[in-house]
Amino acid sequence: MIQAPEYKICSESDIPQILKIYKQSYIEHYLHLWTDSGENYMKTNFTKEKIFSEMNEDDTRFFLIYDGELPVGILKINNNKAIDKTRDTEYLEIERIYFLKEAAGKGLGKSTIKMVEHLATGENKKAIWLKAMEDADATKFYEKQGFVVIEQFDFSYPNIKDEFKRMVLMQLLLKRTGIED
């Protein structure tokens, strides 16, 4: 039987662990996307200052994801953030889900999506949304979880290889209770 993951809401004291998982996961899964092996992206996005700043944004939450006693993933969600970037209490964005390679195939991704879905439903959200690379395995995974592609666009970031610039915006509509649409 697969053990369900546990989720810990992060605080400033968790930033070193967040950075460790971010960096290791990125090295294990994403270096092939970049002409500079992701050096610029990681240097810009995986710093203590950047994580601290993101952690202190309104309605942003980080979770450490545990497989037993081991932290194997990070989830970052932005509550009350609509697809068009406005503040909207009916939407929740999954900005990042990173897992270490050792966590693959254990059902942790599916469990994490279900946890976010439960959280969003409990907060009476209309939808969960996220961005993913168009041809990535992650996109296929999200589709299996019920997400649908609603938009395509190019990702502009220094050093990303041309063949990986195509992104999709995906949405999962939620069943809401007590609200007439």
Q: Give 45-62 pLDDT, tens digit per residue.
A: 999 999 999 999 989 999
Q: Model's pTM, two decimal places?
A: 0.90
Q: Give 74-109 pLDDT, tens digit per residue.
A: 999 999 888 887 677 899 999 999 999 999 888 999
| 160 CA to centre of own chain | 19
| 62 CA to centre of own chain | 10
